[in-house]
Amino acid sequence: MDYTAFLRLLERAAVPPVLLLHGPEPLLLADALARVTEILFPDPAALALSREVLDAREAGADGIARAALTLPFLSARRLVAVRGAELLGSRQAEPLTAYVAAPNPATALLLLVDQELSPTHWLLKTVPPAAVVSVPRPVGRAAVSWLRSRAAADGLDLGEEAASLLVQLVGDDLTTLLGEVEKAAVAGGPGNRRVTVIEVRAVVGEHRLRHVFELTRALERRDLAGALTVLGALLSAGEEPLGVLGMLTREARSLWQVKDALGRGRPAEEIGRALRRPGPAVAALMALAQSVPLEAATRRLARCWEVERRLKSGGMPRAELSLLIADLCAV
């Protein structure tokens, strides 16, 4: 089951006795838990007696099974949410495996795994396929749709153009995107609940818009001197190094996607629709992809991931990003 089908299931207030959600975005898993909680317990007073959130390593498979077998009190159902079940070994998890085979219909057991499980993991062999929900991190157009829906849930009217601009400029980190939407709403004045391109530009700043565009164009031209100049301007203006890296990673990912699609014979129109980017940007990426081997496009993306690891491990931002830009222009 994909995440969209899962949300449609919840719209019908249908919560099965066992659900396994796995994916790399903790915010989406937290949203799923909040939504299931809201459906099962419209009265928050029932939460204390009817919902348990367990850490699998602390509770163990026996503790999880016992919690799930407990009958509800003063409510129609119980909710047992478990984090970290993937860390249990298959033998260690035998009581949980036995429970999943014959679950308590009065309990909703929600297994939340903040990583994408491999097809051979024991959880995917234990939980019925219809109860497994893959929760990928939304990117591109999917991130825009998610951001608008999430903003609406928070009482904000986020226009599609404004959401697209935010994703283009900020990247697809969901927590960062939500923070920018909230700042944009505040920029609209006291009590403002509508976010348009005007508010987004007020938050992001015209200089950032210009610099982002210039950096992207310099990379497309492999203009090392120009790209390094723009990098210096962004960092001097207070831009977060991980935000700059997010822009670079997004461009590297898009180039790899175009190169891969061309290699599989996909037509230009289909590639443009998949990227959901302006026509000139798609044309520039396709032109660049024609001159870059797939192995080189793969190395560009891998290099971005390596720099992310280095920055998060205490690397020097300006030096790491400068070297990365040099590599991107050279490849």
3-state SS of 113-152 is: ECCCCCCCCHHHHHCCHHHEEECCCCCCHHHHHHHHHHHH
The residue-averaged pLDDT of 149-170 equals 87
The beta-strand segments (E) located in the chain are 18-22, 51-55, 78-83, 107-113, 132-134, 157-158, 194-195
pTM over the 0.75 mark: no
Under the banding of pLDDT at 50, 70 and 90, the label for residue 302 is very high
Choose among 13, 6, 28, 275: nearest CA to 147: 28
Higher model confidence: residue 233 or residue 150? 150
Under the banding of pLDDT at 50, 70 and 90, the label for residue 323 is very high
Under the banding of pLDDT at 50, 70 and 90, the label for residue 68 is very high
The residue-averaged pLDDT of 109-135 equals 93
Domains of the chain, earliest start first: 3-134 (3.40.50.300), 141-204 (1.10.8.60), 206-330 (1.20.272.10)
Task: Check if the beta carbon of residue 234 is closer than 8 Å to that of residue 244.
Answer: yes
Choose among 279, 272, 278: nearest CA to 258: 272
Enumerate the β-bridge partners of residue 195. Answer: 158
Farthest CA pair distance, the chain? 68
Amino acid letter for position 147: L
- Tell whether the model's pLDDT for residue 206 goes beyond 60: no
DSSP structure class, residue 247: H
Amino acid 19: pLDDT: 96
